[in-house]
Chains A and B, each alone.
Chain A
Amino acid sequence: MTLKVEDLRVYYRTLKGDVKALDGVTFSLADGEIMGLAGESGSGKSTLGKSLIRLDGRMRHIGGSAELDGKDLPVGDTHAMNPFRFHEVSLIPQYAMSAMNPTRKIGRMVDELLRSRGVAPMRQELERRVGLVGLSADVLDRYPIELSGGMKQRMVMVISTLLNPSLLIADEVTSALDVSSQKAVAKTLLEFRDRDLVKSMIVVTHDISLVYQIADTIMVMYAGKLAEKATADVIVSAPRHPYTQALISSLPEVGVRYEERRLQGIPGRPPSLLDPPKGCRFRSRCPLAFERCAEEPPFAEVAPGHSVACWKAV
């Protein structure tokens, strides 16, 4: 088991009080698993991704633990976390277009980064990896502005995985790309895993149809809590949680004309995380809600490898 997360809670400190963006999340990730992490904006998926590598200034670790390859991951301690970063846990950020220092040639920047982490520069390996994502080695002698968006994205992917991390967090990596580049990026992620450059991966996304193509499992989050986790096929074809069902049915299908039948969204809006309601957080929007939903449903396994947090599914 690569990653084990136990009741992780991360809140944002604001003037109005704590925003409970991540409120008790427990799951595990197997060796070689690519897990898609889906949910709408504000569901806590990015917070979960970030909290496994670096909490930003407003984020506070409230409780819970994470374990990577049998070692405790000090997610709440910025300083103690440092040895793990890049070596064990790495990140492909949402902002890959601007992730590289604009005034350094890329190769030199990577050398300086490696040296600062106590790793000898490895030009040859770097060139091999750059070739692997379909870039020519001379991008290393260029400045980031001389690369296109897709090229920058691939370059950042190479940098992030250079030290063969055990866990890679890809945060909305395809959001800023056009459809053809999205496909290429998704394939590259798959290839990283298949070539053993990365042991396991969390792909944070709001695009279920894209992550479905590469992920082994998909975990759906809603309002700071887990809703459902299962293999990608099960999530798409036989979801058990009403939220997942609504999410999947609001995706457009190929071959269906939407002229007569408008695409259905999910009515209502997610609850405020400043003061979330007790019980199931999807209750107010859920077509199946009944009295028991006032109690919080456990995230329970309903079938092998399939966990759901819903009273109706148990």
Chain B
Amino acid sequence: MRRYFGRKLLIYGLTFFAAVTINWLIPRLMPGDPVASMVSRANLAQPEAVAAMQAYYTGLFGLDLPAWQQYLNFWGALLRGDLGISIWLFPTPVADVITRAVPYTLGLLVPAILLSWWAGNRFGAFAARRRLLDNTVLPVGYILTATPYMWLAILLAWGLGIVAGVFPVAGGYSYAMRPNLSWEFVGSLALHWFLPFLSLFLVAFGGWAIGMRNMIIYELEADYSSYLSALGAPQRLIRRYAFRNAVLPQITGLALQLGVLVAGALVTEVVFSYPGLGSLILKAIQNQDFFLLQGVFLFIVIGVLVANFVIDIVYVLVDPRTRAGMGAEA
């Protein structure tokens, strides 16, 4: 058991190292110069002032050092918990910018991922081998999964937001409010949350339902199902076993989907101008904000790795076959 998790942790460590290195590299490969854009924002007339400012900012962000030195400094700062200062929102520290956005993204993603997984699996399992439902669920499911997030998001925003006027189409809360702890504000949050949530939920739901339906049919054809039927076991028991076994690959699928959903959240957040990490990424790229971009990517990497690790543990708990693979200590 310890060896198994030791090995897993090592792999996660290596992945983390590689991912963070790439995160550091990618913004630096982008065309454009962040300092130049910052200086141009200041609208200075005299060339000396421009030069002085340029020198000041370059030194401040450490961009005058050779690349390997920058890279080492970056790791040093990272290990101290320092993510640097945002260029776009200068001089706010990147950590603060991210902390402000994270609750929105998590509040959107976690319920969308978990609820769609739960509901999709339940529904797919229920529909499998029930002719009427099967004939309706399958096409609807295929349409839903094949729909790009942003397109569905735009449709929803147009239909429910603009035509029906039920839900607001932009922002995390009403533009007329300041964040505070009142029922009114919470209500506004919920109202703004609903459409982005729904678009993420629906797309993922279709995928899970289809996957589960196919898996359940496969399990119902399995030998242990035929044996139980031959011994007269009721369908209820057989379906229960089939569900439990069919859900195992879906757990792996959940881990894989997490990474994709973060990207899905990005476009959804952009469509609905939702103030989460997705919008931050867009803003960071537009403003060549290396440090903010690094910070957000770092957060996503950690999120995906942690989620995968949790799933690894869950898998060991629910599938005896993985335990056997770990050796005698299990």
B118 within 8 A of A: no
Determine chain A's interface SS by DSSP, over half rule: loop
- Complex interface: chain B residues within 8 A of A105 (CB): 320
Given A81-B232, A103-B318, A105-B320: 18 more A-B contacts, CB < 8 Å: A53-B230, A56-B226, A82-B232, A93-B226, A93-B227, A93-B230, A95-B227, A98-B222, A99-B223, A100-B227, A101-B224, A101-B228, A103-B241, A103-B245, A113-B233, A117-B232, A117-B233, A143-B321
- Closest residue of B by beta carbon distance from A113: B233
Q: Are B324 and A116 in contact (CB under 8 A)?
A: no
Instruction: Select one of B222, B230, B320 contacting A143, CB under 8 A.
Output: B320
Q: Identify A85's interface contact among B232, B245, B320, CB under 8 A.
A: B232
Contact B232 A145 (CB under 8 A): no
With an 8 Å Cβ cutoff, the count of chain A residues facing the other chain is 32
Question: Contacts A85-B231, A91-B231, A116-B237; is A98 near B224 (CB within 8 Å)?
Answer: yes
B234 within 8 A of partner (CB): yes
A235–B231 alpha-carbon span in the complex (Å): 32
Residues on B facing A (Cβ under 8 Å): 222-224, 226-234, 236-237, 241, 244-245, 248, 318-321, 324
Q: Give the residues in chain A near B229, CB-CB below 8 Å.
A: 54
Given A104-B241, A145-B321, A145-B324, residue A99 in contact with residue B233 (CB < 8 A): no
A126–B227 alpha-carbon span in the complex (Å): 18
A139 to chain B, nearest CB (A): 14
Check if A305 is an interface residue, CB within 8 A of chain B: no
Known pairs A85-B231, A93-B230, A113-B231; A100 contacts B236 (CB<8 A): no
The answer on a CB contact under 8 Å between A103 and B244 is: yes
Given A102-B320, A102-B321, A103-B318: A91 and B237 interface contact (C-beta under 8 Å): no
Separation of A146 and B320 alpha carbons in the complex (Å): 10
Cβ–Cβ contact A99 & B236, under 8 A: no
What is the bound-complex CA distance between A229 and B323, given in angstroms?
50
Which residues on A sit within 8 Å (CB–CB) of B244? Answer: 103
In the complex, what residue of chain A is closest to B232 when comparing beta carbons? A85
Task: Give A45 to B284 CA distance when docked, in angstroms.
Answer: 72
Q: How far is the CA of A43 from the CA of B245 in the complex (A)?
A: 35
Residue in contact with B223 in the complex, picked from A53, A95, A116, A117, CB distance below 8 Å: A95
Q: What 0/1 pattern do residues 86 to 123 of A give for CB contact below 8 A with B? A: 11001101010011111111000000110011000000
**In the bound complex, CA of A76 to CA of B111 (Å):** 49
Convert A143-158 into 0s and 1s, putting 1 for each residue whose CB lies closer than 8 angstroms to a CB of B.
1011000000000100
Contact B232 A91, beta carbon cutoff 8 Å: no
List A residues 43-78 near B (Cβ within 8 Å): 53-54, 56
